Each structure stands twice: as structure tokens, then as C-alpha cells.
Chains A and B, each alone.
Chain A
Amino acid sequence: MTADTPSGDPASATPTESTAATEHPDPAGVAALVTMLTATHAAVYATAAAGGAVAPLGPAAAQARELARLSCLAHQALRDDLITAIRARGGDAPPALPAYRLPVAPEGIGAALALLARIEDACAMAAHDAVAVLVGDVRALALDALTGTAVRAQRARIAAGMPLAAASRALPGT
């Protein structure tokens, strides 16, 4: 028996730890948030890997290091917000995996920047799709996440030497 199928069963009216979520179930919204969180967990791992890879490369890698650091911090903050939002809706926030296989090995500055851009593009897709099913403050969260990913991906492409005109996207996340 679920809260959205009321019956005369007294058990169905028993409060639980996720009373709010069961009174107003939003499985699609929770799933969208979980999808964003999954991508964000991976992004935290990957941005840390990118930053670590360029750490010993000296002043030439300073910009890449800074971009990786800022990206990692942004994804960590988003991760925490997503976990809070999921739990507030009675959902289970999946933990990060021990490791992720990176789409680009951050061997060198260029590869690290390419990895950063790829990560942001991937997270943009999750945020873009989440906007459609979320409402209220969590839609704003997804919208701001999408904007952040678009800007950070663009910065990574510019830092990699891409011309300004080629660094942006018409519709980020699509």
C-alpha cells in the first residue's frame, strides 16, 4: 500500500520518517535529482583527478589547476545540495562510487582541460533534463547548475586554446 492509493487500511495513515514525501510523492523529481547527483559524484572525482594530474606541472598549468579546483568545489557544493533535496523528498541519495573510469585520461594540460569540458557537458545534460521534471526551488537548483556547467565548460575550452567563437554552445545541455 502506498500513500497515493489511500484505502481504509489504518496502516496507510501511519506517519513515517518520510511523511512529507509520501504525502506528496514525486518519484520523477527524485529520480531526476538522483540522476544529477550520480553525474555530480562522478564530476567531483574527475575534476579532482584533473587537478591532481596537472598539480606537478608548474606555472604553465596554473590556469588548468585553478579551473579544476573551482569546478571541483562547484560540484561538491551541488552534490551537497542535491543530497539535501533528495532526502527532503524521502528519496535515497546514492553514495559516490570508489572510482570512475574517466572518458579522457588527464595526461597533460590539454587533456586535463578536455576532461573538465567533457565533465561539465555531461553534467549539463543531466541538469537540463532535470529542469523539465522539477518544480520550485529544485528547478532553480538545476537551472543554476546548468548555467554553471555551461560557463565552466566554456572556460575550459578557452583555456585549452579554443577560439572564443568556438568555445560556447547554442543550447547547453541538449
Chain B
Amino acid sequence: MCKAATVDPANLTHASRRRLLTGLTSLALTGFAGFAGFEAAGCSTTVTTNRTGPAVGPDGDDRRAARAAAVRAAALAAAYRTAAERHPSLRPLFDTLRAHHEVQLRTLAEQFPGSAPATPTQATTPTQAATPTQAIGRDGAGTAGTAQLVNESPTARAATLASLTGMEGAATNAARTDCLRAGGPLASLLASMCAAGTAHAELLALAASRVSG
């Protein structure tokens, strides 16, 4: 039996959790039980993982998978940026999801240097109908083009949401496939991206139901 300790996962830093899970400190389950958000009494274990920082020397397949993931994240970020300009009423949602993909892109670049796409703004457009031209002002500064391209009709918003959902689904499927083939460090990142994409798709579906409702 071990004395239980309460550790709130919200208070654990990324580094402290990694240390805990990599077993560097040989923490007993007392610590992990806290990590899991619960206080348990009894039992002990540690988990050893083989990743505590940036990946070193990923093989060719991992490099390609990381680069492909970065391209997908960049395309989605650009698509959300375009969609936010097209549908200001959905900007809070689109901006958040864009930011998520940018976080993923940065994380990939940090852990797998060289994975960043050469042209990160090369977007796959959400839909042809919902695609503003490059002339649209990022700040919405009242250009004629902006006025013409903003479209808040339910039909246009639904089309954009459906298209983004499709993009998220395709990216999620690709991340899942690559995750199951990748080396450990990349696999966990791809798994997280896969989970995020699934959650994103559900958010978009929910937003679509509110638009149509």
C-alpha cells in the first residue's frame, strides 16, 4: 500500500507529466493516480516511454508522414482563415479551429524539423462557393471585394461547414493511417491530431445544425 497523494492534472506542467510518465523519477502509482485526477490508495507502477523531447533521426517514412501532416494542418488553417472571412458570424469558431491547426503545425515543426510545408498558406479551399479571392482584406477593412465575398446566407454557411467537415474527416483518416505506421514520437502526435480532427468535425456538424435550425 502506498500513501495516496492528490495531484491535480490541471496543475501539472507538460514537463512534469512527461517526467512522471517516462519513469525518470520512478514515481509510484500514487503520483499517477493523482495525474489521472483521482486519489488512489495501493498499487504501484511506472510507464516508460521512449520520447521525452524532439524526435531524433526519424526514418524516411516518418519524415514523409510528418511532412504530410504538416501540409494537411496548413491547408486546414488556411481554409478556416478563408471561411472566417467569408462568414464573420462563424469567425469565433473558425478562428479557434484555425488556431488549433496552427498549434499542430508548430508542434510538428518543433518535433520534426523540416516537416513544415514550403508554402504554408497553400489552402485547399472549403468550397468553391465559399472561396474568397486573395484580394480579400484580412482585417475586413471594407474593400469592395470584402463586401461582395461575405456571404452569411444559411446556404453558403452550411456549404462551408460541410466542406470543412469533409476536409477534417479526410485529414483525420490520413492521420489515423499514418499513426498506426509511425514511430512512437510521431505516432502520439498524429493520434492527438486525429482526435482533434474528429472533435473538430463534430463541432462543425453541431454548428451546421444550428445554422440550418
Contacts of A69 in B (CB 8 A): none
Contacts of A163 in B (CB 8 A): 92
Q: Taking chain A's interface residues, is the majority helix, strand, or loop, or is none over half, making it mixed?
A: helix
Contact status A139-B187, CB under 8 Å: yes
A35-B47, A132-B49, A170-B100 as given contacts; A42 in contact with B38, CB under 8 Å: yes
Minimal Cβ-Cβ distance residue in A for B102 = A170
Query: Which among B35, B37, B196 is the interface contact of A150 at CB below 8 angstroms?
Result: B196
Contact status A169-B196, CB under 8 Å: yes
Cα distance A169–B101 in the bound complex, in angstroms: 10
How near does chain A come to B119, taking the closest CB pair, in angstroms?
22
User: Is the C-beta of A171 less than 8 angstroms from some C-beta in chain B?
Assistant: yes
Contact status B200-A173, CB under 8 Å: no
Minimal Cβ-Cβ distance residue in A for B14 = A174
- Of the A-B pairs whose beta carbons lie under 8 Å apart in the complex, a sample of 16, sorted by A's number, is A35-B47, A46-B37, A102-B37, A103-B9, A124-B195, A128-B192, A146-B194, A150-B196, A150-B198, A158-B206, A164-B206, A168-B199, A170-B99, A170-B101, A170-B103, A170-B196
Closest 6 CB pairs of A and B: A101-B39, A170-B100, A132-B184, A150-B195, A165-B96, A170-B103
Contacts A102-B38, A164-B93, A171-B104 aside, 10 further interface pairs with beta carbons under 8 A come to A38-B32, A103-B37, A129-B21, A129-B47, A129-B49, A147-B198, A150-B196, A151-B202, A169-B199, A171-B196
